[in-house]
């Protein structure tokens, strides 16, 4: 039993629970009423308030543990809450429902499954199971002719269920004249029939079916309304319509407490509805709102920047984050010439922070799109910065990148069976596993490669459809192979993406993840274009060698861990000693898609706000003057959000790469304060306009191409020549080849830490 001994209900125990809380936190813990909204600013101690409120209710004998339902979004958050409540209450915490939305609904559905016609031992299908069913159904119905993918159909069904639509209800909303819409409705109906036949629910069903259960059977709803005297919900700004409806059904006779921050609502693409929190006082009679504005994480300069940005969104509670810990250092701003220049600055700053005592694990780099990791990974590998991609996959390990690279390998190397077999049915052309096995067996029997066997398809006895598909692929590979000696790599790669239909299949997909895949392929074309510029005589085999060096570079071990790379969406809920916000440009942040999405600009601003408030002590904001998209290099425009940060909070740094090319960095930075063509502010919830056309600029890479320095070993005192930094002297070395790193002093540029194996250096 805890020292508080909640069942003793001592006044002293109750007082002890509010010791050390600030006045607003204490008010939230002690409030008694029908509904309470705790608007918890970033770093304001919301979890502490939530757990202490639970303990306070029990210490004052206002509820038994079994009468409390506390809901959060992730298993990790639920486990953390449970541990913190246990620290306060001891074993009494075991009697409470401290659960995620899904786990709470599973318990209810298993108890009441017979009312819905299911056995209590029903199966829960994850996303992989759902897609496997949909893949089979799509094939059975011939729906692939509409370019419908399992992931895309799953997304449509998920969105419908989150709006509490069943298959029949969804069918009533579609345009019956649209054959694709009709096919989606048919797939939805058959998918649900398959789930019921298998006595299964998918994850979206868990919430939507619980809501349907309560609405169809009032006696069951009343039973759970009476059971829970107090309901508490964390991260309320992230709730979708189904989750909101579930809370409404349960909370009719309960005291409801929700914790959240409309300024951190960034998941509209997942169905989160910001109105759930902004309209809370309208939805729940007698509701009270308490603001938590004191921040225990960041310095005041960081908080002042965040406050200045987010106040440009209207229709939000007025709050102002503050801290008693002091102003701290100014934000560091940096404008690079290119994405590589920006990445090199970040790598150098990380090494500096590490030398000054900051662990790599306490540093994070945030970006808006996954495609931005390519330049960062490239430079981090060359500069020996240990890193990991959080919540994602390293650039050259992504499915679409591996597919595109497999095409290039199959074109350049007719003997590479692994590459050829990978692309046989990518994108889908009707060549299944059995056909692939038959091709491989014929190749083995006749001492041929699979690529060579494609020319002998007529001898294999396939039907006309498969024979035609294989013949078309063979002809295409032969045509592309003939280009190797005459065409640049980016031309060949573009031809692969266009002529195979790979790019079109992604662009026409209903899977929201395919938008990011298109961006990644655009970045790969930019890689190829960059290679062409740095290596005018280089051809496809040379490009493949260079990419292999970068993609397969050894990870660098470090006792202090690794730097975390992640999207801004992934960063929510995390915090780091030092944070780098990259690519703060129009089209990236705010993202180009938000220009045409109602509420898009406001959500992108909230995303920027979330990124800023992840930093504890040091914040860096960077952008590039030039950025490549699909191989075309264009001038970038500083993000409108940069205008909203007071200039006295940011210390801008000069870019050596910019200065060396006689480009005025100061002039570029000054444009941040000028009208960018969108206006200095936006409505926060409407459309953002269309970006102005920028002149295309020829780009000379700030970083030379990767070298293969296999066998090169450096010693202290050695002189080297770097393609970009010039002459330097080795001042320290660590490790052994091929993992040797060296710190090299390059005159006025300073000290750079490089991975010897791939750095663009020559020993003098």
Provide the token pair at 97: 């429902």
Provide the token pair at 617: 């002590």
Q: What is the DSSP string of 332-352?
A: EEEEESSHHHHHHHHHHHHHH
- What distances in angstroms separate CA 34 from CA 48, 59, 288, 465, 646, one per listed residue? 21, 19, 9, 67, 41
Q: Which residues are known to be catalytic?
A: 46-47, 234-235, 264, 614
Residues 241, 714: Cα–Cα separation, whole Å: 61
Q: At 621, phi and psi to the nearest 5?
A: -125, 130
Q: 729 by DSSP, 3-state: which?
A: strand
Residues 551, 531: Cα–Cα separation, whole Å: 15
**Exposed e or buried b for every residue in 633-667, given b needs 16+ CB within 10 A?**
bbebbbbbbbbbbeeebbebbebbbbeeeebebee
Cross-strand partners of 576: 615
Q: Which of 509, 442, 489, 505 is nearest to 470 (CA)?
A: 442
The answer to whether residues 538 and 418 touch, using CB atoms and an 8 Å cutoff, is no
Q: Which region holds residue 650: left if phi is over 0, alpha if psi is between -120 and 50, else beta?
A: beta
Q: Edge-to-edge strand order for the sheet containing 288-292?
A: 97-100, 68-72, 230-233, 255-260, 35-40, 288-292
The answer to whether residues 366 and 372 touch, using CB atoms and an 8 Å cutoff, is no
Q: What is the DSSP string of 380-449?
A: HHHTT--EEETTS--GGGSHHHHHHHHHHHHHH-TT-HHHHHHHTTSS--S--HHHHHHHHHHHHHTT--
The answer to whether residues 730 and 715 touch, using CB atoms and an 8 Å cutoff, is yes
Q: Find the helix or strand (DSSP H, E) in which 182 lies.
A: helix 179-197
Q: Which of 104, 119, 216, 120 is nearest to 164 (CA)?
A: 216
Provide the token pair at 177: 């004249």
Residues 624, 630: Cα–Cα separation, whole Å: 16
Angle at 744 between CA 740 and CA 750, to 5 degrees: 145
Residues 210, 113: Cα–Cα separation, whole Å: 10
Residues 225, 494: Cα–Cα separation, whole Å: 60
Provide the token pair at 443: 């190749």
């Amino acid at each position: 039993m805890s020292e508080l001994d909640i069942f003793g209900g001592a006044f002293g125990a109750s007082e002890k629970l509010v010791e050390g809380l600030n006045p607003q936190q204490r008010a939230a813990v002690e409030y008694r009423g029908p509904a309470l909204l705790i608007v918890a600013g970033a770093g304001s101690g919301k979890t502490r308030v939530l757990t202490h409120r639970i303990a306070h209710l029990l210490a004052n004998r206002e509820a038994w543990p079994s009468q409390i339902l506390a809901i959060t979004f992730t298993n990790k958050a639920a486990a953390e809450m449970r541990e913190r409540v246990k620290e306060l209450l001891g074993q009494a915490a075991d009697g409470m429902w401290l659960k995620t939305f899904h786990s709470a609904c599973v318990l209810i559905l298993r108890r009441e499954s017979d009312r819905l016609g299911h056995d209590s031992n029903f199966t829960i299908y994850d996303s992989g199971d759902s897609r496997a069913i949909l893949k089979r159904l799509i094939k059975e119905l011939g729906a692939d002719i509409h370019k419908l993918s399992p992931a895309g159909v799953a997304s449509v069904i998920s969105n419908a269920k989150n709006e509490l639509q069943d298959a029949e209800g969804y069918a009533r909303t579609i345009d019956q004249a649209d054959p694709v819409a009709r096919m989606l409705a048919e797939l939805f109906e058959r998918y649900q029939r398959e789930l019921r036949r298998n006595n299964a629910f998918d994850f979206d069903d868990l919430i939507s079916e619980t809501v349907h259960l309560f609405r169809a059977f009032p006696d069951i709803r009343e039973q759970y309304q009476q059971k829970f005297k107090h309901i508490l919900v964390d991260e309320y700004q992230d709730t979708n319509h189904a989750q909101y409806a579930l809370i409404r059904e349960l909370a009719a006779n309960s005291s409801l407490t929700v914790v959240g921050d409309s300024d951190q609502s960034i998941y509209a693409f997942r169905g989160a509805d910001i109105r759930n929190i902004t309209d809370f006082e309208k939805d729940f009679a007698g509701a009270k709102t308490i603001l938590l504005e004191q921040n225990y994480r960041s310095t005041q300069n960081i908080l002042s920047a965040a406050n200045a940005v987010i106040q440009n969104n209207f229709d939000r509670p007025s709050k102002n984050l503050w801290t008693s810990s002091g102003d701290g250092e100014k934000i560091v701003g940096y404008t690079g010439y290119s994405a590589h220049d920006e990445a090199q600055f970040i790598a150098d700053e990380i090494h500096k922070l590490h030398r000054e005592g900051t662990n790599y694990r306490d540093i994070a780099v945030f970006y808006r799109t996954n495609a931005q990791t390519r330049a960062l990974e490239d430079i981090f590998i060359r500069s020996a910065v240990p890193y990991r991609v959080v919540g994602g996959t390293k650039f050259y390990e992504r499915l679409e990148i591996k597919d595109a690279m497999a095409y290039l390998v199959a074109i350049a190397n007719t003997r590479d069976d692994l590459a050829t077999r990978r692309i046989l049915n990518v994108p889908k052309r009707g060549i299944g596993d059995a056909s692939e096995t038959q091709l491989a067996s014929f190749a083995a029997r006749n001492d041929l490669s699979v690529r060579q066997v494609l020319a002998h398809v007529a001898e294999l006895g396939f039907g006309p459809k498969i024979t035609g598909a294989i013949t078309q692929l063979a002809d295409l590979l032969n045509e592309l192979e003939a280009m190797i000696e005459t065409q640049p790599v980016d031309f060949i790669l573009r031809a692969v993406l266009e002529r195979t239909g790979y790019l079109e299949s992604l662009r026409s997909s209903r899977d929201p993840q395919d938008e990011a895949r298109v961006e990644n392929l655009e970045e790969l074309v930019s890689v190829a274009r960059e290679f062409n510029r740095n290596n005018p005589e280089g051809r496809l085999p040379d490009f493949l060698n260079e990419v292999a060096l970068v993609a397969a570079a050894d990870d660098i071990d470090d006792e202090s861990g690794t730097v975390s790379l992640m999207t801004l969406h992934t960063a929510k809920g995390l915090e780091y000693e030092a944070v780098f916000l990259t690519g703060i440009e129009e089209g990236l942040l705010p993202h180009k898609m938000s220009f045409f999405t109602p509420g898009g600009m406001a959500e992108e601003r909230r995303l920027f706000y979330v990124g800023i408030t992840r930093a504890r002590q040091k914040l860096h904001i960077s952008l590039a003057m030039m950025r490549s998209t699909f191989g075309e290099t264009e001038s970038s425009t500083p993000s409108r959000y940069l205008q909203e940060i007071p200039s006295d909070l940011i210390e801008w740094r000069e870019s050596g790469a910019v200065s060396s090319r006689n480009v005025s960095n100061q002039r570029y930075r000054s444009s941040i304060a000028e009208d960018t063509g969108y206006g200095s502010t936006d409505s926060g919830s409407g459309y953002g306009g269309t970006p102005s056309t920028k002149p295309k600029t020829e780009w000379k890479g700030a970083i030379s191409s990767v070298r293969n320095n296999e066998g090169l070993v450096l010693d202290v005192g050695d002189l080297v020549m770097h393609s970009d930094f010039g002459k330097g002297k080795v001042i320290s070395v660590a490790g052994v080849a091929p993992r040797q790193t060296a710190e090299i002093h390059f005159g006025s540029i300073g000290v750079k830490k490089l991975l010897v194996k791939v750095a663009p250096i020559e020993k003098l």
